[in-house]
Chains A and B, each alone.
Chain A
């Protein structure tokens, strides 16, 4: 057990030594378009079955795909935000496979010449751990339809509303080394997508999903054989699935077995992965350029036009927060995850203590909201009331400890912190004379301990501080109590 505690994230202690995870992610992000990639049918979710389907999507003979300009712009915009190579010429290919929810018998995707090539992003894993993850490519492709298997004992029900909706597939390099890094990577991609507005990043509704490629190796060795875990739709599941899959692989390898390269599914109830496709030629997609579509070409000035309109990106905002408010890069990375976090923070921190505000927002406010299952937009505490609370602390009106009680009260009653402090008489006692009175009482009540202290039992000092705080009901200014007590006990 002790050895396990020392393991780095992403390492697995096996019988034969320590194994390292090697992870690559394919993120499927639904483009925020009104209509589909190659047809004029609506791309919105939740409509009546097969109502958002055109004859193009249903793959009726003679129908021709025409590409959506907005989707092209979003792919370029996202590529720029990923610091990636933009390819002015790219090609659409047919990826051939048979499935009931794929009426064409192929998915239009991009294989050898994607619209976006190599790039990289920086992720913040924790307080002092920043790392760069390479982007292999980003390409545009069609989503498939939806199969419902639970409507009938022997039949599947097919809804083609999602068929042909535009996806951006963002493929990372195998640079990720732990489930935690994978989570940080997905969060970073999601915030980039949301900042540029190319995808709403909503994992619950399926507009962002990830496939994880996982293999294990001993440090310094070549990459092992990988397995792909399909369709993970939350960061928690990504974490669990990677850990479970890596442990499964270590167990097989240590027993002298081999890993079969295969597609696996994560069973969220058992927490294990299981094989999905066994046929070894299931991956033989026989890609070829789609004869219905000419290569996608655009000019440098088209790309420049999009570049000129790029909004502030998370990394830029992060740097700004660090510089302007003096907060740590990791705290800043949490605040920039969502645009509304930043807006809230800046409103709350302006003119106040930036660091303290960040601490309170991240650990107290986010913690409390999570507990209540609330979004920041539903927060009972507003930027203004948080700012007031922080200023009550920095001015010395209340102690940090009392502030937590006030905060809890604010969460329930939505009252202003100054009103709560006044109503409950929580104001910190910072008056020398009053504190002296409290100290004198504690000394008088504990003569024996005072003797012990004066004869060398230094540790008792904390006891006296504690007693003073106690009889002041936590309201005495701890700094002053320390200072005056030291003088009195000389």
Chain B
């Protein structure tokens, strides 16, 4: 967010909620919008610092991304994978029909 004035309004809350598949009660939308505005406003404080000569920092620990060798070390745990599924059949997850 590049400026403090960016305002999250009710339509924006509705849109984010829809994209996140969240059902937000009508009477909490305004307070959610206020909270989001406060968060964005807080983060926008960073705009006051000149970072044009600062390298982006991905980690404070100095660790590098670990890599692993291409070896099959996992799998064949269908029972565990399906254990929490509300419904399964012949090794498949079963969900309400979804077709685009």
Contact = CB atoms under 8 A, between A and B. Distances in A.
A297 B95 CA distance: 39
Interface residues of B, number: 38
B81 A35 contact: no
Interface stretch (A93-101, A315-323, A412-420, A481-489): A93-101
Contact of A154 (B75, B93, B96): B96
B70 A53 contact: no
B54 interface: no
Contact of A42 (B69, B75, B81): B75
Most chain A Cβ neighbours within 10 Å, of B59, B74, B99: B74
Interface in A27-68: 33-35, 39-42, 48-56, 58, 66-68
Contacts of A35: 70-74
A100 B18 CA distance: 17
Contact of A147 (B69, B71, B98): B98
Interface in A108-161: 147-149, 151-160
B70 A68 contact: yes
A432 to B, nearest CB: 69
A281 B15 contact: yes
Contacts of B70: 33-35, 68-71
A25 to B, nearest CB: 21
A148 B71 CA distance: 29
Interface in A149-194: 149, 151-160
Contact of B77 (A49, A54, A286): A54
A293 B66 CA distance: 9
Contacts of A281: 15, 18-19
Contacts of B80: 55
B13 to A, nearest CB: 14
A11 B62 CA distance: 55
Contact of B100 (A42, A49, A158, A277): A277
Contacts of A289: 58
Contacts of B63: 294
Given A55-B81, A66-B66, A69-B69, A40 B92 contact: no
A40 B68 contact: yes
B24 interface: no
A158 B92 contact: yes
B90 A49 contact: yes
Contacts of B66: 66-67
A99 B100 CA distance: 10
B74 to A, nearest CB: 4
A39 B74 contact: yes
B37 to A, nearest CB: 18
Given A100-B93, A286-B19, A160 B72 contact: no
Contacts of A294: 58-59, 63-65
B85 to A, nearest CB: 9
A321 B70 CA distance: 36
B93 A158 contact: yes
B88 to A, nearest CB: 9
Given A149-B99, A281-B15, A40 B74 contact: yes
Q: Which 6 A-B pairs have the closest CB atoms?
A: A40-B73, A70-B70, A54-B74, A40-B74, A158-B93, A49-B91
14 contacts: A34-B72, A40-B68, A41-B75, A49-B90, A50-B92, A53-B78, A98-B21, A149-B97, A157-B93, A159-B91, A159-B93, A265-B100, A284-B15, A294-B65
Interface of A: 33-35, 39-42, 48-56, 58, 66-72, 91, 96, 98-100, 147-149, 151-160, 265, 276-277, 281, 284, 286, 289, 293-297
Given A53-B78, A158-B92, 12 more contacts: A34-B70, A40-B71, A40-B74, A50-B93, A52-B75, A67-B65, A69-B70, A72-B67, A149-B97, A284-B19, A293-B65, A294-B64
